[in-house]
C-alpha cells in the first residue's frame, strides 16, 4: 500500500477557487484524487477544475454557499450525483474582518462565525453520513495559528478558528469507531488574496516575520504535504488533532 496515494478517492474542498483551498484541491489531485471544487465565483469554478483535469483527474465545480443549510445540501447533492461519493472533505471556506474588539460590528461577527465555523458544521453534516455508511472518510478542517494564539484585531476570526479546533475534537470522538477520521490544519500567513494586502503594510509585514521563528511567511507548496498526509492512509490512526503549519509561530 502506498501510504500517500489517493488514486480512486474523491475529495470535496470548500472555498477552493483561490488561496489555501485551491492549493489543497490541487495537492489532493497531485496525489491521485478526483476533486469537487466548491466556491461562489463562476469563472474560477471553471478555471480550477480545468486545471485539475489537465492533471488527468476528474474534477468539476459546484456553487456552494456555506451560510445556508439549504444551499449547502443542494451543492453537496450535486457533487454526490456527479462523483457518486465523497471520501475526503476539506472544510476551508472562510473570511475575516479586522477592527478592535470594542468596535466590532455585530453583523461582521455573525458573518465570520457563520462562515468560518457554522459553515464547517453544515458541510460536514451534509457530507459525513455517506462516509459513515461506507465506514470510511477523512475530514480536514482548516483552522489557523490563531485558533491557538491570540492577536489584536482578530476577535471573530480567532474565535471562529479556536472553535474549529474544538469542533474537530468532538467530530473525531463521535465518528472514530465509524471509520471517519477528523483532523485540522492551522496555517500561518501565506500569500493569499485574504492577506496579501499586508505586503503593503511594512510594519505588519515585519512584525509577522519577526514573530515567526523561521523569519518568513509560508509558501503555498509547503501546505501540500500536510493536506495529503491527513487525507491519505498514512494518517489512518490519527484523529482529533491539529497540525500547525506555522514556521514555529505557535511554539512561543
Give percent of the chain with pLDDT exceeding 90. Answer: 94
8 A C-beta contact, residue 218 and residue 17 = no
Rg (CA), the chain: 17
Q: Is 5 helix (H, G, I), strand (E, B) or coil?
A: coil
Tell me: pLDDT of 244 over 80. Answer: yes
Give percent of the chain with pLDDT exceeding 70. Answer: 99
Q: Give pTM, 2 decimals.
A: 0.96
pLDDT in the model for residue 1? 63
Cα separation, 157 vs 70, whole angstroms: 24
Average pLDDT over residues 117-122: 98
Residues carrying an active site annotation:
157
Of 206, 191, 201, 189, whose CA–CA distance to 244 is shortest?
Answer: 189
pLDDT band for 187, please (50, 70, 90 cuts).
very high
The string of pLDDT tens digits covering residues 1-17 is 699 999 999 999 999 99
How buried is 101 (Cβ within 10 angstroms: 0-12 exposed, 13-18 middle, 19+ buried)?
A: exposed
Domains of the chain: 10-247 (3.40.50.720)
DSSP bridge pairs for 245:
187
Q: Which backbone phi and psi does 190 adopt, to 5 degrees?
A: -120, 155
- For the chain, the residue count is 252
| CB neighbour list of residue 40: distance below 8 Å, 6 or more residues apart | 17, 63, 64, 65
Average pLDDT over residues 131-154: 97
pLDDT in the model for residue 198? 83
Q: Which three cell numbers stand for residue 98?
A: 479586522
Cα separation, 246 vs 23, whole angstroms: 16
> Treating both helix axes as pointing N-terminal to C-terminal, what angle do 155-175 and 119-134 enclose, rounded to 10 degrees?
20
Of 82, 33, 40, whose CA–CA distance to 56 is shortest?
Answer: 33
The string of pLDDT tens digits covering residues 21-77 is 999 999 999 999 999 999 999 999 999 999 999 999 999 999 999 999 999 999 999
Average pLDDT over residues 145-168: 97
The string of pLDDT tens digits covering residues 219-237 is 999 999 999 999 999 999 9
How buried is 47 (Cβ within 10 angstroms: 0-12 exposed, 13-18 middle, 19+ buried)?
A: middle
Cα separation, 87 vs 230, whole angstroms: 12
Q: What is the mean pLDDT of the chain?
A: 96
> How far from the centroid of its chain's Cα atoms is residue 16's Cα?
8
pLDDT band for 191, please (50, 70, 90 cuts).
confident
pLDDT band for 192, please (50, 70, 90 cuts).
confident
The string of pLDDT tens digits covering residues 89-100 is 999 999 999 999
Of 109, 144, 167, whose CA–CA distance to 223 is shortest?
Answer: 144
Q: Is 175 helix (H, G, I), strand (E, B) or coil?
A: helix
CA 125, 126, 128, 130 torsion-angle sign: positive
Amino acid at each position: 500500500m502506498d501510504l500517500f496515494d489517493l488514486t480512486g478517492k474523491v475529495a470535496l474542498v470548500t472555498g477552493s477557487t483561490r488561496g489555501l483551498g485551491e492549493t489543497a484541491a490541487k495537492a489532493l489531485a497531485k496525489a491521485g484524487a478526483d476533486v469537487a471544487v466548491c466556491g461562489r465565483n463562476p469563472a474560477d469554478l471553471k478555471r480550477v477544475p480545468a486545471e485539475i483535469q489537465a492533471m488527468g483527474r476528474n474534477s468539476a465545480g459546484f456553487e456552494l454557499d456555506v451560510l445556508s443549510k439549504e444551499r449547502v445540501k443542494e451543492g453537496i447533492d450535486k457533487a454526490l450525483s456527479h462523483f457518486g461519493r465523497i471520501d475526503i472533505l476539506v472544510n476551508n471556506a472562510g473570511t475575516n474582518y479586522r477592527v478592535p474588539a470594542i468596535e466590532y460590528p455585530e453583523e461582521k461577527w455573525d458573518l465570520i462565525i457563520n462562515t468560518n465555523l457554522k459553515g464547517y458544521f453544515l458541510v460536514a453534516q451534509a457530507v459525513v453520513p455517506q462516509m459513515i455508511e461506507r465506514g470510511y472518510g477523512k475530514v480536514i478542517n482548516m483552522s489557523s495559528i490563531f485558533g491557538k494564539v491570540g492577536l489584536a484585531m482578530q476577535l471573530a476570526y480567532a474565535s471562529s478558528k479556536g472553535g474549529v479546533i474544538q469542533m474537530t475534537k468532538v467530530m473525531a470522538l463521535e465518528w472514530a469507531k465509524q471509520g471517519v477520521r477528523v483532523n485540522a490544519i492551522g496555517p500561518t500567513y501565506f500569500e493569499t488574496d485574504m492577506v496579501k494586502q499586508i505586503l503593503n503594510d511594512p510594519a505588519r509585514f515585519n512584525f509577522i516575520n519577526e514573530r515567526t521563528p523561521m523569519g518568513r511567511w509560508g509558501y503555498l507548496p509547503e501546505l501540500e504535504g500536510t493536506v495529503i498526509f491527513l487525507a491519505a492512509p498514512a494518517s489512518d490512526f490519527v484523529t482529533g488533532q491539529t497540525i500547525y503549519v506555522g514556521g514555529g509561530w505557535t511554539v512561543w
